[in-house]
Amino acid sequence: MAGGERLNLVFENLYALKIETEFYIGAGIIFNKEFVVFDEAKNALLIIDHNVVNQEYVVRFVKELGEIYEDLTIIENTEIEPRTSTVDRMVTQCKESRLNAVFGVGGGSTLDTAKAIAILLTNPGIAENYQGMNKASRPGIPSIMIPTIAGSGAEITPSAVLINTEKKFKGGINGRFVAPTRALLDPGVTAKAPVSSTVYAAFDAFVHALESYTCKLASPIVKMFGTEALRILLRAIPRIADKPEDLLLREDLLLAAELAAIALMHSEPGPMASFGYQLAIRHGVPHGLANAIMIDKTMAIQIEKGADYRFLYELLPQKPSVEGQKEKSLAAYQYVSEIINNVNVPKNLFSYGFMPEHYEELASFVDYAKKGFPAAVTGFHREDLLKVLMSLS
Of 128 and 204, nearer to Fe ion (C-beta) is: 204
Q: Taking the CB of residue 390, how many other CB atoms lie within 10 A of it?
A: 11
Choose one: 34-42, 93-101, 122-130, 197-205; the region binding Fe ion (CB under 5 A).
197-205
Binding mask 72-111 for Fe ion (x = CB under 5 A): ----------------------------------------
What string of DSSP letters covers 270-331? Answer: -HHHHHHHHHHHHH---HHHHHHHHHHHHHHHHHHTT---HHHHHH-SS-----SHHHHHHH
What angle (nearest 5°) sits at the alpha carbon of residue 268, between those of residues 115 and 25? 50
Choose one: 141-149, 201-209, 242-250, 346-354; the region binding Fe ion (CB under 5 A).
201-209
Instruction: Give me the least distance between CB of 290 and Fe ion, in Å please.
Output: 9
For residues 90 and 32, the answer to whether their CB atoms sit within 8 Å is no
CA 360 to chain CA centroid, nearest Å: 27
**What number of CA atoms fall less than 13 Å from residue 92's CA on the CB side?**
9
- For residue 105, the cross-strand partners are 48, 146
- What type of residue is 186? D
Of 186 and 211, nearer to Fe ion (C-beta) is: 211
Per rule CB under 5 A, count of chain residues that contact Fe ion: 2
Instruction: Give me the least distance between CB of 2 and Fe ion, in Å please.
Output: 6
Q: What share of the chain is helix, strand, coil (3-state, %, to 5)?
A: 50, 10, 40
Choose one: 45-53, 102-110, 199-207, 217-225; the region binding Fe ion (CB under 5 A).
199-207
Choose one: 48-56, 198-206, 332-340, 375-383; the region binding Fe ion (CB under 5 A).
198-206
Q: State the residue number with the nearest CB to Fe ion.
A: 204
> Smallest Cα–Cα separation from 340: which of 191, 221, 165, 204?
204
Instruction: Give me the least distance between CB of 263 and Fe ion, in Å please.
Output: 12
Of 120 and 259, nearer to Fe ion (C-beta) is: 259
- For residue 184, the cross-strand partners are 24
Of 177 and 277, nearer to Fe ion (C-beta) is: 277
Of 141 and 173, nearer to Fe ion (C-beta) is: 173
Binder among 49, 112, 155, 204 for Fe ion (CB under 5 A) = 204
Q: Residue numbers of the site for Fe ion (CB under 5 A)?
A: 1, 204
